[in-house]
Structures are given as structure tokens and as C-alpha cells.
Structure 1
Amino acid sequence: MSDVTARAAAGFSSAFGAEPAGLWAAPGRVNLIGEHTDYNDGFVLPFALPHRIVVAAASLPTPRWRVWSEQSDETIEFDAAQADEPGKIDGWAGYVAGVVWALRAKGHDVPGASLAVASDVPAGAGLSSSAALESAVLTALADLGDLAVPVEERPALAQRAENDYVGMPCGIMDQSASIRAEAGHALFLDCRTLAIEQIPFDVASFGLAVLVVDTRAPHRHAGGEYASRRRACEEAAALLGVPALRDVADLDAALAALPDDVMRRRVRHVVTENQRVLETVALLRAGEVREIGPLLTASHASMRDDFEITVPEVDLAVSTALAAGAYGARMTGGGFGGCVLALVDADSIEPVAAAVAAAYAGAGFTAPVWFAARPSAGAGRIE
């Protein structure tokens, strides 16, 4: 039993005075490439991490839910009436209530339950701990209640919990990766059709590694900045007369038709980022893993200059990793903090990480934390 699994089981016993009926887990994710393309009906290429949120759970005889979290060491309780009112339960428990609400709104007879949550997904690092929580809870409740929820429908339910109950206007990428990813693969997702393809991404077999650096810059996008980027994209699509920016076929003509430079930059990022995802997928299908590096770096430059969602800590991590020999590097996640990923030779992962740490010390930034990311499996029951 892993440490986080043991903590979830022990937390359940301590909070509820009984043993759980089972344990379920869902992973955080790293987005290899394709940032802010998901809500523009575009393409993304995330993969799941070995870092997981674990939910220990057991059914209750009535429609009420008790949730304990190791992070806050508190238990939140709510009933069906509270679950059925979006926003009624807030804070971390809102993600749990949102899943209950989304399932009930879809007509499922969601079982009452006691749930204990433990996590080794770094919170606030852009690794989608919120989607992991939603996905783990959804998987647990579906199993406990023997609910007929096909796996291909689960990401949209978890997304609805976050969009309409919590109030975070995220796309469907995070939940799709947390639920549908496969070990050793990146998940190529068409966010319009929801078609997926598992793309081989066994970097170790090529003598490579994906270094993930948690920059320790606070990851804040649940407020105005993320939402403002999404609004700009939707307004631009409306002005251009297309359903979404994914449908822009002539970028130069589109840019010429837009009224201001900020909107032009937002559109240019989304359109070119979609193309970078497609080019990355083509290279990975051909087994040309090192060759994706320049696309990763170009993605970061686009996020920095056109979408304007990076911060000094992530820019320094990217530039330092590249100078230390990385094939490519970029910020991953919604922006304004979080993590950077770098494609490096397997035997240089520690020297590159050390170079970033030294650069941070010189700049007076909080020391970063790093790990090697291994493409892992999506949500499921573990015991």
C-alpha cells in the first residue's frame, strides 16, 4: 500500500470509526502541449502523473455525504438539498458536492457516502489537483452505487461540477487526462468531438526524461485572469463568425479582421498552439521524440508573449533549462504560476534541475521542487 493510500485509509478510520469499503484514486496531470486550446474546441496532449488523490469511501443508507480531507483535517457534511444548489458548499468540499450535483442532475441515484481524501498531487502547482479530486470522487461514487456512467461520459460530468457548481470555467482536458489516460502514453484529445487517441510516450526507452519543476510561484487562475482569456477568445470567435477559434483557417486574415492588438495576440496563440499540438503528435507517432523540443519551447514563447500568462519564475525556469541542455521547455497548466516541464536526456535531469535551483537562488526566488514525470494510468479502484 502506498503512503498516500495508507493515509486515506487511516483518515477514514479516524474520521468515521469504521473501515472503508474500498479505495479509489485519480491522478494529476501534466499537459505536454496545448494550452488554453481546450475551451476553444481545439487539441491537447496531456498525460497522467503517478501523483494521485486517493479517496477511501463507504456507502451511507441515506442521501447525505460526509467528507474528510487530510489537508484541512476537517469533515464537511451536506445533504441532497445542499448538493442540489450550485455553490452552496464551497471551498475544497465544493468539488465533492459538485460531483454529487452533476451526477444527480444527470438522473443518477447517487449513494450517500462517507469519504476520506488524501493526496500527493501538489496543490496550486498547475497539475490539476481539482480535476483529480473530482475524478476520484466520481469513480468512487459510481462504483459504490453501481451507477451506469460510461467512462467516456465521466470527464464531462467532472467538468460540469467544476464549471457550474464551483464556478471555474475550465475546459475538459484535465478531467479527460485524469480519467482516460493510459500508462506510457499521452492522451491526444479533440476537445470538440471528444475523440481520443493514446499516443506512445515512453520517453525512457529513448534515453530521455520529462523534468517537471514546481516553480513555487503561486498558481492563481480561478479568478479574473483565466476567465478574461476565455472571454477574449469567445468574443474573437464571434467577431470572426466561427464557432470557435479552432475553426480559423486563415490566421493572417483573421488577425487583420480583429479590432485590437490584445485580441490579435490571444487568437494567434490559440491558432498556432493547435498546430503545434498536431505537429507534436505527428512526431511522436513517428518515434521522433527529441524533435518535439522546439515545439515545446515555441509554445512557451507564445504563452509568454501572445497569451501573457507566464510569470518571472516560470520564464526563468524555462530559459535556464534550455541553457542547461534541455531539448525543449515550457510552462504547463493554466498559467500565472505553477510548473514548467523540460524534455531532457535521462542522465542530465539532475544537472538541469540543479541549474534551475541555482538560478532561483540568484534571483531571490523561493527554491523550486522537481520530479521526473512518468506517464501513468487514469482513475480507478485500487483496493
Structure 2
Amino acid sequence: MAAELPIPIFTTLNDALGDLQTAAVQASRWNDVAEEFEKRFGKKPAYIARAPGRVNLIGEHIDYVLFGCLPAAVEQDILMACGPSSQASGSPGSVTAQNLNPKYTPKTFVPILKDATMPLTTEQKEAEGSVHPESWYLDIDKRELRWESYVKAGYYGVLNRFFPPSSSERPVPIDLLVTGSVPAGSGLSSSAAMVVASTLSFLAVNNKLGNLTKGQLVEMAMENERRVGVNSGGMDQAASVISTPSSALYITFFPFLHAEPILLPVLRTNPRAVFVCANSLVVSDKAVGAKTHYNLRVVETLVGARILARHLNVPLQATERPTLRQVLGRWLGYKEVKGQPTELDTDKLKAGLEKVLPELEKLRPAGRGDNEELGLTMEEMIRESGLDEAVFNEVYLSWVEVEATHFQIYKRAKHVFEESLRVIEFRAACLRAADASRGGDLPESVLRELGGLMDASHVSACKFCENSCPEVDELVRIAKEAGAYGSRLTGAGWGGCTVSLVAEDKVDAFIERLAATYPAYKDLEGEALKQVIFATKPSSGACVLKLE
């Protein structure tokens, strides 16, 4: 199982990047960050940690509900050169973090062990409310997100997992230099890549890499990213850590993390095809807009699970907070082994999704049509949950900040179940194609089938998840007019990137059409244009290059 494999540690760049062609293209970036590290810190780095961004081919806003999704790592990545601090007087665990991008100013910070004699300042105590109450303290303030917050988030998990107060071992001082080619706020998960790379860096310098599997790193990175205010479902971290070349990952989260490589058929079709990412240039940071966007969707789906359970006569304890996936499983009668739920196989899950879809109409407010307000007020939502207000607030609102006048329970549930079904259908199409390709090229109809599922996914994002925006919708429209088999937003949404399935021999014309038609690309050319529209192939997952 891919999640049980160890974190790869390489000693040559060719091995780290997987093939000579990729290494030839990327070697200069790795060499540049290593040389700049030596200039700034007076010694060569001990390690370079790499974590790629990801493109989600299909399955948006369903990972935190514990349904499967289909992302792939991209070639764009975050690199962190790191090593023990050259300053002999460095405090235990102190960090000097710099960034090759000059707009990100250097930062120095020191973690504080909470039971140490040094008391926290008033400012630190106030900021502490924005992080988990654990043994170590770092001032991550979710109210004003900064680039180093992602570095600190990765450090937090290492500190609390490997340096408990009861141990005499303390983290070493570290110097760290960051560079990245994943555009921030683009929907290609630069935040998860930053947190994964940061986690790897602190593990490496403290000689803890051998203590974790890939799956454990994913879980650790998920928890770490939540420290910056995003209730991440794990898709981004899993794709960044576990991905393999030429494949997407069918990632499932229930009853435990499982990642299955799915060979993409697009390079065996006639014509061959590639995925093209296009940045809307609308920056969408999941943490910044969390209370009205990402975290609100999390709460809406969780409350929706309870309300749906009531309609389906699935019993719940008052303090339970099950996901839609868990409610579906109970309704379908999944079995438990030694108290732990067992996963329904994919065919049975598909049948279950098809069975539950008509039941979702019970979540639609009575007597309201599609053009009327389908959301519930806070009072209506609490009443539909069957809980009293105090218990409801404790279970659903005490741990997260959200803001809305109406909560779209029906729309979110409809998106989740229909999108989950599309993921299974996309996976099945890829598997059928893999079996059929043994006889030669695959027909173009494979691309049309995959593209149709991508198109339907975007419609659902607009209508039911409501996580698109006018600029992204415009990019999708232009992509379809330019000949894409399918196009959709990718990532959390509200900006960021689209991903389109395009015939390989038409990529240049496709990019030219987008560049000439999408207003925000009007003045871009050359390298600047290549940064916002690019074809990509599935990349390998995160790794560490050992230099000493």
C-alpha cells in the first residue's frame, strides 16, 4: 500500500526527480537554492526537501466529507534547503527562515516549551488562541496570515510529536531557505506543499525522517495545516506526498487513508491528450476567506449529515459529528470488525450513492423552487438538526468560525453525493481504458467521456457547491470554445486555476486562444504567460535530497 511506504530520501538529483529529462529541466532550481543557501548562511545545506503542488482532476470539496477524489501531483513544487544553524549561540530549536522571493521578508523565531520557566507575554497568550493547546508554542496568528506561518505550521507537528517535555532531547537550531514554483492562491495547493516541505525539513535536520511512513506524514501535514485555520480534508497533502509519475491517485479516507495509483489513459488515446492548467489570477487563499468559504462548506456538510441522518432514520448520539460518508455507510448497513468500520467496495459504494440521491430531496426546504432561497437560517438549521441550541453550538460551531445568513444544506449535500459518483465513474473509465489499451491505441471517445465528467463537475461547483467565480467560469467557457474535451475549476475555488483536458497536438493553439481571449492575460507574454498557462504531467511525490 502506497501510504505505508517510507518517505524517500535520495542522494542524487536524478533519483529525486525520477528521470533524466525532468532532472535536466529542474536541476538549475535545485542548484540555485543550494548555492544561495551557502551564500546567506555560510555553509552548504544538509538537505533539500521537495513537495509538489497538485491538480485535482475531479472530486472537489468531498475529501473532508471522507469521499474519494482523484488528484495528481504537478511538476511545480516547493523546495526548502535546510541545515543545522551555523550560529553557535542559536537557541534550542530556533529558526532563521528566508525566501528567494524578495517580497517575503526574512523571519527568525524560537519555539517555547510551555512548561519552561520563561512566561508567555500577553501578546503571545492572546495569539495562542489561534493554535492548538500543546506542549510547544509558536505564534501563528490566523487573523493575519503570513508566509512563515506555513513554515511554523510544519514545525509544530515535529515539535509536539518528537520533543515532548518529558524528553531531554531538544530540537536543533535550523537555517532554512525557501523557493517555489507553485503560484500562491492558484488552487494548485501551494499551502499544502509549503506545509509538507516544512514538515520534511524539520524532520530531516532533527534526524527523524526514518520514524514516519508516507501515510503518517500525510496525517501529520493535515493536522499541521489546520494550525493556519483551514480544516483540510487531506487530499492536498496526500497528493503531494504519495503521488507517482503517469498516474492520478484515487484517494479514499474512510475508514482509513488509502491511495490507489490510477494510470491515466490520455497518453494512449488517439489523439493523445494532456491536462492544461490555467490560472485565473484571482488569488484564493483558503485560510484568508475560510469563515465564509472553505470552513463554511465544512460546517454545512457536517450539519447536512445530521439532518440527512434524521430523514433516513439513522440513529446518532447528540454529541456525534459524522460526515455524509459515514451517514451513508450506516444507512447502507456496513459491517464493523472489532468495533472498526469496514469500507464498502467501489461497486457497492457506487450503488449506494445512486440509491441515496433521490433521498436528498428531503433536504430541500418544503415548497421552495430552484429560483427561491434554498438555504436555512441559523434558527431553521438548528431546528432541523434536532439538537438544542447549546448542544448544536458545542458540536458544530465551537471549534470553527463561520459566517453566513443562510446555510445551504441541500445544495452542499447534492454536490457531495453527485461529485462522489463522478469520481467513481472517472476512475472506472480510466481502469477500463487501461485494460483495453493492451490492444493498441484507445479511441477518442475515452477523452470525451472523461471530459464530460469534468464539465459536469464544474456545473455542480457553480450551482451547488458555489465555489467558483466569474473569472473561473469565463476561463472554462473559453477553454471549451478552444476545443477542450472538458474543463473545470481545480482546488478549493473562489479563484485559482482551471484544469482542461486537451488534445496534445492542439495544446499550442489552445494556449494561444486563452491568451488572446481571457482579459487578465492581455499583457502577458513569454515566461510570464508560461507561468499562468501550462501543460503538466503527473509528478512524483514529496522527497528529501540528502547533500551531506
TM, length-normalised to structure 1: 0.93
Is structure 2 residue 51 aligned with structure 1 residue 23?
A: no
Bigger shift: residues 231-240 or 248-257? 248-257
> Alpha carbons of 1:353 and 1:335: their partners in 2 closer, same or farther (altered >3 Å)?
same
Is structure 2 residue 522 aligned with structure 1 residue 379?
A: no
Instruction: Map residues 202-217 of structure 1 onto 2, 5 A cutoff.
Output: 203-206=266-269, 207-217=272-282
Is structure 2 residue 322 aligned with structure 1 residue 239?
A: no
| 8 Å contact from structure 1 (residues 233, 266) kept in 2 | yes
Structure 2: any 5+ residue segments left out of the alignment? 1-25, 114-134, 164-169, 315-321, 329-351, 366-373, 376-407, 434-441
- Identify which of 253, 257, 282 aligns with 2:359: 253
Is structure 2 residue 105 aligned with structure 1 residue 74?
A: yes
> Alpha carbons of 1:221 and 1:138: their partners in 2 closer, same or farther (altered >3 Å)?
closer
Aligned length: 381
Structure number having the greater strand percentage: 1
Q: Secondary structure of the equivalent of 1:137?
A: helix
Q: Which amino acid aligns with 2:540?
A: A
Q: Which amino acid aligns with 1:371?
A: F
Which residue number in structure 2 is paired with residue 302 of structure 1?
Answer: 460
Q: Aligned equivalents of 1:300 and 1:86: distance in 2?
A: 39
Q: Aligned equivalents of 1:225 and 1:177: distance in 2?
A: 22
- Identify which of 211, 233, 251 aligns with 1:171: 233
Q: Which amino acid aligns with 1:254?
A: L
Task: Compute the RMSD of aligned alpha carbons.
Answer: 2.2
Q: Secondary structure of the equivalent of 2:466?
A: coil
Is structure 2 residue 162 aligned with structure 1 residue 107?
A: yes
Q: Which amino acid aligns with 1:347?
A: D
Superposed CA deviations along residues 14-69 of structure 1, whole A, max 9, x for unmatched, are 33222111212110110011000011111111100111111111124732222111
Bigger shift: residues 256-265 or 53-62? 256-265
Bigger shift: residues 90-99 or 30-39? 90-99
- Identify which of 182, 188, 212 aligns with 2:244: 182
Which residue number in structure 2 is paired with residue 265 of structure 1?
Answer: 411
Superposed CA deviations along residues 146-191 of structure 1, whole A, max 9, x for unmatched, are 311222100111111111x211222101111111101111111002
Deviation at 1:73, TM superposition (A): 4.9
Superposed CA deviations along residues 274-299 of structure 1, whole A, max 9, x for unmatched, are 11111101111112741211000000
| 8 Å contact from structure 2 (residues 54, 71) kept in 1 | yes
Bigger shift: residues 26-35 or 364-373? 364-373
Which residue number in structure 2 is paired with residue 153 of structure 1?
Answer: 216
> Alpha carbons of 1:299 and 1:86: their partners in 2 closer, same or farther (altered >3 Å)?
farther
Q: Which amino acid aligns with 1:149?
A: L
Is structure 2 residue 293 aligned with structure 1 residue 225?
A: yes
| 8 Å contact from structure 1 (residues 202, 375) kept in 2 | no
| 8 Å contact from structure 2 (residues 219, 234) kept in 1 | yes
Which residue number in structure 1 is paired with residue 192 of structure 2?
Answer: 131
Which residue number in structure 1 is paired with residue 3 of structure 2?
Answer: none
Q: Which amino acid aligns with 1:103?
A: V
Which structure has the larger Rg over C-alpha atoms?
A: 2
Q: Secondary structure of the equivalent of 2:75?
A: strand
Q: Which amino acid aligns with 1:277?
A: V
Which residue number in structure 1 is paired with residue 70 of structure 2?
Answer: 45
Is structure 2 residue 475 aligned with structure 1 residue 329?
A: no
Deviation at 1:335, TM superposition (A): 0.5
> Alpha carbons of 1:232 and 1:365: their partners in 2 closer, same or farther (altered >3 Å)?
farther
> Alpha carbons of 1:225 and 1:377: their partners in 2 closer, same or farther (altered >3 Å)?
same
| 8 Å contact from structure 1 (residues 7, 118) kept in 2 | no
Q: Secondary structure of the equivalent of 2:293?
A: helix
Q: Aligned equivalents of 2:159 and 2:201: distance in 1?
A: 15
